Each structure stands twice: as structure tokens, then as C-alpha cells.
Amino acid sequence: MALRQIVKIGDPALRKHARPVEKFGQRLHTLLDDMAQTMYDANGCGLAAPQVGILQRAVVIDMGGEDDHLVELVNPQIVSAEGEEESTEGCLSVPDRRGYVVRPVRVTVRAQNRCGMPIELTGEGMFARCICHELDHLDGRLYVDIMTREAEKGEEDAGEDA
Ligand code: NI
């Protein structure tokens, strides 16, 4: 495993539409392993492949709760979303800023695991928020594009960036 460099806002990789993953071999496994290590090293709760300059539809998420663990989503698609909630979020590619974004309260996502097997999971609250944030990265969208307003320093919790 190796740390990868997280690209920052202004880098064109963050604005591209990522391609579907078609090969589920060692190259993908190494990418996912590196992404997880890079996310943990940056104290983030999520990371999408375009954030390390790789334009493929793969994300890692770890909300850090007792029962939670590392989630890898390859070719993810949100198949249902419920509710709306405005809260703050931040992004490892947009340092030192946080903003308020309206996101669904609950989302169900279908994806593939690192071996190409279909998976489906439902997330609520901050987990749902993180899923939406990461999937936006796959389509070249950043939270600052859709935030309702910038959070002032110390105004909101210091949640983890994604
Ligand atoms: Ni982000």
C-alpha cells in the first residue's frame, strides 16, 4: 500500500466524469488499498478515485463508528433517496473550508465490490451524506457547487472531510 497525493480544487481531474470500472484485478485492488490508506492518513471519512487523480468510478468510505468499517463501492449508483437534511460537510480536496449542503436523510446504493460482485447498502445521516458527496466526485461535482452557504469557522461541528 502507498499513500497517494490528494488533488485540490482547481485540478482538472476533480471536474471530469469518471469512467466505469471494467477490470476487477490487482490494479483496482491496489488503488482501493491506497485510497483507504490515503483517506485514513488525511483523517477523512471518504475518498473518491478522482481525488487521487484516477478517473474511475470507485470510492472508499469509513465513518469510524463502532460497528462501521471500511466500505468500498465500485460503479456505485443511488437507487433510492428519502428525506432532506441540511448540514455541514467538508472535502479533502477543498482544504480549510466547510459548507452547508442539503442531502437526503437516507440513500440506498447499488454497486460492485472489489471483485465485481453486486452489493447494495443503505446509509442514513452522515453516512448517507458521505455517500452522496463521494458519488458527486465521480461526476466532477464538488460540495462547494451546491452548498447553501459557507460555514463560519467554529460555527459547526468539526466533522471529517470526504
Ligand atoms: Ni470530497
Note the pLDDT tens digit of each residue in 10-61. 999 999 999 999 999 999 999 999 999 999 999 999 999 999 999 999 999 9
**Catalytic residue of the set 82, 89, 120, 134:** 134
Distance of CA 89 from the midpoint of ligand 1 (Å): 9
134 is catalytic: yes
pTM: 0.95
Residues with CB under 5 A from ligand 1 (ion): 91, 162
DSSP summary character for residue 51: G
Helix (H, G, I), strand (E, B) or coil at 86: strand
Lowest mean pLDDT among 11-20, 70-79, 144-153: 144-153
The pLDDT tens digits of the residues spanning 96-118 come to 999 999 999 999 999 999 999 99
Provide the mean pLDDT of the chain: 95
- The grid coordinates listed for 143 are 460540495
What Cα–Cα distance (Å) separates residue 52 from each residue in 13, 22, 55, 146, 158?
9, 19, 9, 22, 23
Domain residue limits, the chain: 12-150
What is the rounded CA–CA span in Å between residue 19 and residue 99?
Answer: 28
Neighbours of 29 (CB within 10 A): 13
**Class of domain 12-150 (CATH, top level):** alpha beta
Percent over 90 (pLDDT), the chain: 90
Distance of CA 93 from the midpoint of ligand 1 (Å): 6
Q: Is pLDDT of 64 > 70?
A: yes
Distance of CA 67 from the midpoint of ligand 1 (Å): 23
Helix (H, G, I), strand (E, B) or coil at 15: helix
Distance of CA 86 from the midpoint of ligand 1 (Å): 17
